[in-house]
Every structure is written in C-alpha cells, then in structure tokens.
Structure 1
Amino acid sequence: MQMIKTAVVGASGYTGMELLRLLLMHPNAQLCCVTSRQYAGESLASVFPRFAKADGSALTFIQPEAKLIKDSGAEIAFLALPHGVAAEYATALLELGIKVIDLSADFRLNDQQVYEEFYGTPHPAPELLQQAVYGMPELQGRSEAIREAQLVASPGCYPTSIILPLVPLLEAGLIDPQSIVTCSMSGVSGAGKSSNVLFSFCEANESVRAYSVPKHRHLSEIEQELGIAAGTPVTMSFTPHLVPTHNGICTTTSALLTGDASKISEVLEKAYADKPFVRLLGENNPADTKNVTRTNFIDIGWAVDQRTGRVLLYSAEDNLGKGAASQAVQSFNLMAGLEEQAGLHNL
C-alpha cells in the first residue's frame, strides 16, 4: 500500500487537531512530523489524550523548523498556522522539495493588493501567489490543477459554504452577480483557540451575534472566486454570525433570479453529479449542520421566492471539516495520486 510521509505544522489548534485525527486514521498517510512551539518534546497522546494508543500517537512534537521537518522525511506538509506566519514556512519547505497545503489565507488570493487591503499588511511572499492553486476540488478544472500543484491554498470555511452553491448558477447566468446577499452562522471553534473574551463560554453560550462587519476578511476570496465564475467582478454583502455550538456552519444566500428558475436543479445536478462530497438536498430543503459535522460533506438545498424574484441557497458544512481540515486532506489525496475519498469516508 502506498504510504505518504506527512507533516502537520502548527498541530495544536482546533484545525490542527482535526487534521491529526484524520491523518492518524488515513490508510495512506504516515504521520512523521508534528510541530508546536508550546508542546515541543511532548507526545501526541499526552497533549491529546483522545489519540492515546492510536497508531502514531507516540510521535513527539518538535520545533517548527524547516530543516527538522525535512529531516523527518515528510513529502507533504500541512500548514495549520495563522496568516502572515504560514508564508515563511511555505517558502522554506517548497525550497526543500516538500509539497505544501496551506490552511491559512496567505495564498488564497491572486492579487497581493487585495491581500493587503483585507489583511492590513504587505503580502509576505508575493512571488508564490501565481504558483498556488486554490484548493476547492469541486470547481471546474480545479482537481486537475491540485493534482499537479506544489502549493495548495486550502479555502476558508465561510467561502466553501458560499462559493459552492453559487458558482454553478453564476456560470449558467441564472442570477445577477451584483445582487448576492449572504448570512452565515458558525460555531465558536471557527475563531480558533483565541484568548478573546468574546469567545469565552460565558460570552458565547446562549447568545447569537454578528461579528467582523461589514467587511469580513473571507470576502476577499469569496468575491475572487465568484468573479471568476461570473466573468465579471463581484461585490456582495456578507454577514457572519457566531452561534453557541462547537462546530458547523449554516449559510443562507440569496440573489436576484435572471434566468429560468426551472433550470436551477438541472444546473446544480450537472455541476456536482460526480462530486463525492457535495450532497444536493433538492428544492425547498434547507441544510442542517447536524448532518455534516465531523464529515467532509457539504449539503446544499435551494428555493425560489416568487414574491421577490430571488433564489435562496442553503448550505451546511463542518467548519473544521469541509471548511478546513478534511477539505485539505481531500487535496492531499489528489496531490498524492490517491483516491479522492481516501480516509474521508466517515459519516
């Protein structure tokens, strides 16, 4: 059986832990390196007792140094690091011949000026932007590009829930690209292991609120990918909300219908018929987070509001799964020449 030596850089956060869970169970991944400044010298099992006695759980965290990662034998490295930090490691690892899947925002954008606008700092490695492939395998031609990539920019959680329902309708000219309005709700884990009091239990429990308005950072990659699909720049409204759950994203998007409403089902089914992780729920069936948590599925439903002439798109995914770790593993499978679904069959 083909085994791919794999590293996780920044393995101690929520996304890092989910990556570890998936890779420890993956039939073709040999976890050979995990890094954490905080836990260097400690074993996976001692930091994450849930992994105790799993094959590979005796692996010890090391300092996040490119040479040490190379010395481990890693062929592909996942970067579960903050934006601005990941680019430094991506540059060093690529120079050492290691393929990189970056889960930060550092390589998701094609335009370094857009990065600076949304992230408030010059891009740390602009020379790599044109090399990076935006790692959403369901988009047209993207899985082939991922297979050949040395650097994959794994998409954000909100963008995945918004882009996949919209792209087929934009490509078919069924909706007005300038009329898109989206509201999303995410579990608190989407904020990472933040010390911000707003994400503490007493502040987040039994409460729902909007945040990062009116210009959430993920708008940059959402508008980029929707603009590619529409063939014209897209500017949209997006309001994220924090809800008192651990994980899961529920998104509702609406847009003015400019084409034949009866074509919506046909267009979506044609786009995703052979995509193993997109589940189409049909018309008038909203998506539910309870059906997608701890999986790599995104569920998509839709409805047509005849009174307003708008189409409503509903989606649900796990922000730590399809919105982060498991989608990155999906790209890993493609880069390694494996079955796309390898290690991701969990329901």
Structure 2
Amino acid sequence: MRVGIVGGTGYGAVELMRFLTNHQAVDKIYLYSQSKQGTYISDVYPHLASIINVAMEELTVDHVVKHVDVLFFATPPAVSYQWIPALLETDVKIIDLSGDFRLDDPAVYEAWYKKTTASRDYLKQAVYGLADVYPDKIKQAQLIANPGCYPTATLLGLLPIIDKSFIDVDSIIVDGKTGVSGAGRSLSQGVHYAEMNENMRAYAVGSHKHTPEIERFLAEKTEKSIFINFTPHIVPMTRGILVTMYVNLTAAISRDTVQTLYESFYKERAFVRVKENHSLPETKHVYGSNYCDLHITVDQRTNRLIIVSVIDNLVKGASGQAIQNMNLLYGLNETEGLNLSPLYP
C-alpha cells in the first residue's frame, strides 16, 4: 500500500518512518509539510539518509487522493480538522495522531485545548483507536482518532476493572511521568538542558488536555460520569511514560483474582503484557517498542488497588499504535512492522 505522513518533521512522524520502512505491506511513503516542502527529510533527520531520502511535498487533497491509500496526520492540535472533512468524501483511510477527533463534543475540545476543531457531525465519524480494546470497531473505520500517550497508558490500566463492583470509580487518582520528547521538537525554555537536567516537575495540574479523553472512555464503559484527578510530571529522560493509578476498593478481593481478570481481558492482545507480582514495569522494558506493561497490586492495608502502566510515548503512545491501527484496518497481522524487541539498555 501507499502511505502518506503529514507533519514530516516531528518526532511522531520520524517514528512512523522508522517502522513503516520495515513494513512488508508498504510500497511507497509520501511526506507532506507546509513549512518544509521541497526539503529532503535527510536534511532534517540525517540518520534517515540511506533509508527514506525523499523530499517533503505540499499537502493537497488531490495529491492524496491520487497517490495515497492511508494518510497519517502527525500534526499539532487544530491542523487535521481543517483537512479531514474533505478527505472523508474520498476513499482514503485516515489515522489522526493529533487530538482533534478524540472528543465528540467541540465545546469540550475548545475548553481543554483552547483551539477550534471540527463540527460534531465529523467528530462522530471518528473511531477511537485504542487498538488493544476496540479492534473490531477499528477494522470498519475510515477515520481513526489515535489515542494520546497518557490516555493509552491510563486506559489500558483502568478499563479492565472500571465497571467492576469492587472499585469506587469516584476515587481514581492518576499520577503520570513522561520524558521530554512528549513536549515535541519545538524549542522551549522548559525542556532546555539546563532547566530539565537533574530536575522534575509537575505541570498542567488539574488542567491537562488528556483528562477529558480519559474520562470519556472510562465513562463510556460504566455508563456514568467519571471524574479523575490527573497530575502529569516531566522527568529528565528522552522517552517513556510511567503512570501509577490508585483506586479505592469497596470489597475484599485478592491480587490473584484481579491478576486473572487482567490476563483474561488482554489474552488475545500481543502488545499488552500483564506482569507477575515480582516484576514491576520500568520504562526501559518498553523503550522503542509498541508494548504496554501492566502490574497490579492490592494494598490490603489501605484498601486500594494500585496499577502501574508503562509505554514508550512515541511508539505505543503515538506512531506504533497508529501502525497497529493501520494493520487492523487492512486485515493484516496486528504485529506487522512492529514486532521488534524493546531497546535495552
């Protein structure tokens, strides 16, 4: 197949290239950039010179329709919504890595993102691309809203138990840690070496734009409104997300029972690994890969369930899951192009 990537200079796009150039079903890759058209990708990322040395082109609907089967938007917020309505009138499949189509209410999007998005009619056409939970819906989609990095790690950790009677859904606390690549490639003082090295800080406390995305899909399963406390932190590493979730228990339950529940929920999913009791997840265990590692603890002293989830924010939290969604769309093996071991050390 022929694929296109919009936003060819970002970290999400370069990760798409890393995997797609080794994907057996991909014959051609087109790169689109409004700011860098005519520039060879190797001039931006020299390490790609012998792998995908093509020039970035201007994005037009006509060019996409003529040359592309599936189009990835690896763009900042409030870009993809300007193009996708016209593309939905064609046969092109679309996988949007931005947040523009993850929420079904434009007013909610504007309140959290402080930007404009598509109308409700278009938002309703998007299928949420949490590949390890909604594979059947994804297979039928034309437009996939690829999940955010924090929501991927958090939802994979909470969805197996969110509708169970033994937890208090009003008690959920989500503590997240991310590497600096989550801030993107643009320069800013907050990720300057002297500011970030040997430092760690919370940010967007009570106001992170991924909060309504997490709450939406938890509420969808429970059929009741859910509100979480979510506090993200940035730590001095390049890649990785570690999320620790705390949920109050309403009844006595053993760790083995919860472990069995999680293992059953993900038994058909190649990229979610439920760890044994003695093996706590680390970001290094999934570095550069499409895996999510989960660990369950039942703290009987405090009567809480504690879930630890780790992913690579640029792979499982973005480009890897997008390719997993592409594989589902085209009836390919879900692991095609992605079945690589994590980088270690």
Q: Per the shorter chain, which TM-score range?
A: over 0.9
- Percent identity between matched residues is 37
Question: Following the alignment from structure 1 to structure 2, what is the Cα–Cα distance between the partners of residues 42 and 198?
Answer: 29
Matches within 5 A, 1:232-247: 232-247=224-239
Corresponding residue number in structure 2 for 1:58: 53
Of 61, 64, 67, 2:62 maps to 67
Corresponding residue number in structure 2 for 1:332: 326
Deviation at 1:111, TM superposition (A): 2.3
Show structure 1 runs of 4+ deviating over 6 A: none
Corresponding residue number in structure 1 for 2:195: 203
Query: Are residues 1:106 and 2:100 paired?
Result: yes
Q: Which amino acid aligns with 2:24?
A: P
C-alpha contact 2:270 2:335 (8 A) present in aligned 1: yes
Deviation at 1:113, TM superposition (A): 2.5
C-alpha contact 1:8 1:78 (8 A) present in aligned 2: yes
Question: Following the alignment from structure 2 to structure 1, what is the Cα–Cα distance between the partners of residues 142 and 258?
Answer: 36
SS at match of 1:269: helix
Matches within 5 A, 1:1-347: 4-54=1-51, 57-71=52-66, 73-139=67-133, 142-262=134-254, 263-283=257-277, 285-347=279-341
Q: Describe the shift of the 1:259–1:167 C-alpha distance in structure 2 as closer, same or farther (beyond 3 A).
A: farther
Deviation at 1:116, TM superposition (A): 2.3
SS at match of 1:29: coil
Deviation at 1:284, TM superposition (A): 5.3
C-alpha contact 1:161 1:316 (8 A) present in aligned 2: yes
SS at match of 2:204: coil
Question: Following the alignment from structure 2 to structure 1, what is the Cα–Cα distance between the partners of residues 117 and 187?
Answer: 26
SS at match of 2:155: helix
C-alpha contact 1:91 1:125 (8 A) present in aligned 2: no
- TM-score, normalising length: structure 2: 0.95
C-alpha contact 2:106 2:118 (8 A) present in aligned 1: no
C-alpha contact 1:210 1:242 (8 A) present in aligned 2: yes
- Structure 1, unaligned stretches of length 5 or more? none
**CA RMSD of the aligned region, Å?**
1.4
C-alpha contact 1:76 1:100 (8 A) present in aligned 2: yes
Deviation at 1:305, TM superposition (A): 1.3
Question: Following the alignment from structure 1 to structure 2, what is the Cα–Cα distance between the partners of residues 29 and 172?
Answer: 42
Deviation at 1:30, TM superposition (A): 2.5
Deviation at 1:5, TM superposition (A): 0.7
SS at match of 2:182: helix
SS at match of 2:88: helix
Question: Following the alignment from structure 1 to structure 2, what is the Cα–Cα distance between the partners of residues 169 and 52?
Answer: 46
SS at match of 1:45: helix
Q: Which moved more, 1:192-201 or 1:99-108?
A: 192-201
C-alpha contact 2:9 2:41 (8 A) present in aligned 1: no
Question: Following the alignment from structure 2 to structure 1, what is the Cα–Cα distance between the partners of residues 281 and 253?
Answer: 20
Question: Following the alignment from structure 2 to structure 1, what is the Cα–Cα distance between the partners of residues 279 and 222?
Answer: 26
C-alpha contact 1:23 1:31 (8 A) present in aligned 2: no
- TM-score, normalising length: structure 1: 0.94
Deviation at 1:258, TM superposition (A): 2.2
C-alpha contact 2:130 2:147 (8 A) present in aligned 1: yes
Question: Following the alignment from structure 1 to structure 2, what is the Cα–Cα distance between the partners of residues 227 and 27?
Answer: 38
C-alpha contact 2:180 2:238 (8 A) present in aligned 1: yes
Question: Following the alignment from structure 1 to structure 2, what is the Cα–Cα distance between the partners of residues 173 and 194?
Answer: 45
- The count of corresponding residues between Structure 1 and Structure 2 is 339
Deviation at 1:237, TM superposition (A): 0.2
C-alpha contact 1:88 1:125 (8 A) present in aligned 2: no
Q: Which amino acid aligns with 1:150?
A: Q
Deviation at 1:122, TM superposition (A): 4.1
C-alpha contact 2:106 2:119 (8 A) present in aligned 1: no
C-alpha contact 1:186 1:241 (8 A) present in aligned 2: yes
Q: Which amino acid aligns with 2:59?
A: P
